[in-house]
Amino acid sequence: MALVPSRLASARATSVWRRHTSKGKLLGRGPTLSVKLAVLSIRQSEAVNKLPKEMFCPAALVPILATYRELAAEAAAATGHALYGNTCNPTLRVLPSLLADPAIAQEMMEVWRRMAARWTPGQAREPARRREVLQGLTMKFWPLLHANAVPAMHVAGNIEASRQRMRVIKGYTEDHPVGCKI
């Protein structure tokens, strides 16, 4: 999908120097947006059925969100009210804040993928195992929301600050493993 180029990009693309360079030609065409769509594997179909019909998220986030919805449904059934009436479950309260941070969400998805790769197919279908792992991940990553050691999110384009932030989060992840009792 082609997007409308900005006035500044169009002005820069019209210079004599830019007309003959690859960057200038790219600026002249304007920005494009591409989205890759893929068919889900059979392993993911069970988790996808627990999500809303239309939802955009990385494929690696699907089992985490499905488990979150299972916890939310369980909490709503236990209290007899809407989900928002139940505020005592730390996973239900903290996970949305964690997933709002792209660096933490990416690292959570990676840790979930590594842990789930060790499960047998029977273990992967156990709701109690998935819930316990999600609760462990939430408690593990929660301090990153409040730690002074984690650099603040910077404006897009500051690649070095983003890399430093990712290094701190990755280092924390490697130093504090998540265990599962089940």
Q: Does some domain include residue 7?
A: yes
**Together in a domain, 7 and 72:** no
Dist. CA 75–CA 4, nearest whole Å: 46
Rounded to the nearest integer, the mean pLDDT of the chain is 78
Give the angle 159-106-42 at the CA atoms, nearest 5°: 140
Quote the domain boundaries for residue 90. Answer: 42-175
Q: Does some domain include residue 55?
A: yes
Burial of 62 from C-beta contacts in 10 A (0-12 / 13-18 / 19+): buried
Residues 5/30, Cβ–Cβ less than 8 Å:
yes
pLDDT at 48: 74
**Together in a domain, 13 and 94:** no
- Alpha helix positions (H), 49-149: 62-79, 90-100, 102-117, 121-124, 127-141
Per-residue pLDDT tens for 146-169?
Answer: 888 887 776 666 778 888 888 888
**Together in a domain, 19 and 64:** no
**Together in a domain, 50 and 12:** no
- The residue with greater pLDDT, 139 or 182, is 139
Model confidence at 92, pLDDT cuts 50, 70, 90, reads: confident
**Together in a domain, 28 and 53:** no
**Together in a domain, 30 and 47:** no
Tell me how crowded residue 89 is: count the other CB atoms within 10 A of its CB.
18
Per-residue pLDDT tens for 11-39?
Answer: 666 666 666 777 666 666 666 667 777 77
pLDDT at 56: 77
Dist. CA 57–CA 78, nearest whole Å: 28
What is residue 36's three-state secondary structure? Answer: coil
For the chain, the domain total comes to 2
pLDDT at 29: 64
**Together in a domain, 86 and 136:** yes
**Together in a domain, 58 and 74:** yes
Dist. CA 144–CA 129, nearest whole Å: 24
**Together in a domain, 5 and 52:** no
pLDDT at 157: 67
Under DSSP, the state recorded for 32 is B
* Range 119-142 average pLDDT: 89
Q: Which two tokens stand for residue 94?
A: 């903290």
Model confidence at 73, pLDDT cuts 50, 70, 90, reads: confident
